[in-house]
Amino acid sequence: MANRTTPYGAFNYVVNFDGGEAFGGFSDVSGIGTDVTVAEYRNGNEKENHVRKVAGIHKVNDVTLKRGIVNSKTLWDWLAATRVQGPAAQKSVAITLFDEAQQPVQSWVLRGVIPMKYSGPTLAGKGGGEVAMEEIVLSAEGMEINA
């Protein structure tokens, strides 16, 4: 990986739940990220007139998964379990990017994940070749990157 100069394609990835359970293929994964809040602080006796930046709490961004509807209710069942069980329904989610030889390049591991929003498809009777899509938004407590 150290000698590679071209970026990896964004289309070769897999999403796994709890270390292996797969809920089907997702066509889009977006929102992977984390934010650290920064507090500004200045000692009253500083010789220079500037602030110090102190790292504060951090949070993980909400991650959105989209897929064509398949004959599976697993995402809906997880959402239903979250509504009843609360934190007991948390899962870990790993999003792994692969290279052209199907070797893992990098993984984003989300911890303490619960679904916070589900959106069903937009249905229209006009015909055509559009796919019925569903979307789930995940809320995570923590994130790690494994390279």
Buried-exposed string 53-88: b where 16+ CB fall within 10 A, e elsewhere: eeeeeeebbebbbebeeeeeeebeebbebbeeeeee
Looking at residue 76, which CATH number applies to its domain?
Answer: 2.30.110.20
- Its domain, for residue 110, covers 13-33+61-146
Contact 65, 78 (CB under 8 A): no
Residue 56 within a domain? no
In a domain, 89, yes or no: yes
Inside any domain, residue 3 = no
Specify the pLDDT at position 48.
Answer: 86
Spell out the per-residue pLDDT of the chain, length 147, in tens.
567 888 888 888 899 988 776 666 789 999 999 999 999 998 888 888 888 899 999 999 999 999 988 887 888 889 999 999 999 999 999 999 999 999 999 999 999 999 999 999 988 888 777 889 999 999 999 999 998
* Residue 38 belongs to some domain of the structure: no
Burial of residue 96, with CB atoms counted within 10 A of its CB: 0-12 exposed, 13-18 middle, 19 or more buried: middle
Q: What is the pLDDT of residue 2?
A: 61
Q: How many domains does the chain have?
A: 1
- Say if 55 falls within a structural domain: no
**Residue 126 CB burial class (10 angstroms; 0-12, 13-18, ≥19):** exposed
CA–CA distance, 79 with 81 (Å, rounded to integer): 5
The alpha carbon dihedral of 98, 104, 105, 110 has a sign of positive
**Within a domain: residue 5?**
no
Residues in Cβ contact with 122 at an 8 Å cutoff, skipping those fewer than 6 apart:
133
Question: Does 46 map to a domain?
Answer: no
43 within some domain: no
The predicted pLDDT at position 23 comes to 67
Q: CA–CA separation, 55 vs 118, rounded Å?
A: 33
Stated pTM of the model: 0.85
